[in-house]
Copies of this chain bind each other. A is one copy, B any other.
Amino acid sequence: MASALRVLGIDPGLTRCGVGVVDVRADRSASLVHVGVVRSDAGMPVGERLAVIAAGLRAVLDEHRPQVVAVERVFAQQNRSTVMGTAQASGVALLLAAERGLPAHTHTPSEVKAAITGYGAADKRQVQTMVARVLRLDALPHPADAADALAIALCHAWRRGDPSVSTGSGALTPAQRAWADAERAARR
C-alpha cells in the first residue's frame, strides 16, 4: 500500500460515540481500518459515562495509532436535550488527542456532507451510501454514529489534501470514481 494518512473520525456522543479509522492515500482512495461505537449507560453519572467513552477512545488510539483526529463540531442550536453531553464527549475526544500530541480538528456536519456527497444538505442515507462506496463496503455502515465517524474521517483527509484531483484517467479505482463524482457535484 502506498503511504497513507491514518485518520480517526469521531462522532461524539454520551450514549453512542461513533469511531471510524480510515487510511487515505494521496490519490484520495481510502480503506477501512476500524469502525465501531463506544456506548455508555444512560443510568450512570455523567463523569463515569465520560470515563467509559474515554477508555473506549484510548483503546482505539492504542490499537490503530491514527496520525490525526477529526471530531464533528457541536452547536448549541442542535437537539437541546443531548447537546451538552455531546459537547462534553467532544471535549474528552479533543483532550485525548492533545494529550497524545495528535493534531485534532473539528468539522461541521455540513462540511462533512459536502465533502462526502458534494451537497451540504445531503441526508444521512446519501452520506452512508457514499461512505460505503468509497470504502468498498458490502453493506451500509451502521449504526448511523459509526457511519458518521467514517464520514468525518474521510472529510478531514480529503479537505486537507490537494483539491485538484485527476479525473481524466481511465484507470480510476471505485473510490476515485466516487470521489470524482462527488467533487464534480460539489462544483455545480
Please give the residue numbers on chain A whose beta carbons come within 8 Å of chain B beta carbons, in ascending order. 45-48, 50-51, 54, 69, 74-76, 80, 83-84, 87-92, 94-95, 97-99, 103-104, 106
On whether the beta carbons of B51 and A104 are closer than 8 Å, the reply is: no
Chain B residues positioned under 8 Å from A76 (CB to CB): 76, 80, 83-84
How far, in whole Å, are A91 and B76 apart by their CA atoms in the complex? Answer: 15
On whether the beta carbons of A45 and B104 are closer than 8 Å, the reply is: yes
Chain B residues positioned under 8 Å from A95 (CB to CB): 47, 50-51, 54, 92, 95
Top 9 closest A-B pairs, CB basis? Answer: A88-B91, A47-B98, A87-B87, A47-B94, A91-B91, A51-B98, A47-B104, A50-B95, A76-B76
Chain B residues positioned under 8 Å from A92 (CB to CB): 91-92, 95
Residue from A51, A69, A74, A95 with most neighbouring chain B CB atoms (10 Å): A95
With contacts A45-B98, A45-B104, A76-B76 known, is A50 near B91, CB below 8 A? yes
Copies assembled: 2
Q: Which residue of B45, B69, B74, B99 is within 8 Å of A84 (Cβ)?
A: B74
Chain B residues positioned under 8 Å from A46 (CB to CB): 91, 94, 104, 106
Q: Which residue of B lies closest to A87 (CB)?
A: B87
Given contacts A50-B91, A84-B87, 17 further A-B contacts (CB under 8 A): A45-B103, A45-B104, A46-B104, A47-B95, A48-B98, A50-B94, A54-B99, A74-B84, A75-B84, A76-B80, A76-B83, A87-B88, A87-B91, A88-B88, A88-B94, A89-B91, A92-B92
How far, in whole Å, are A47 and B103 apart by their CA atoms in the complex? Answer: 8
Chain B residues positioned under 8 Å from A69 (CB to CB): 47
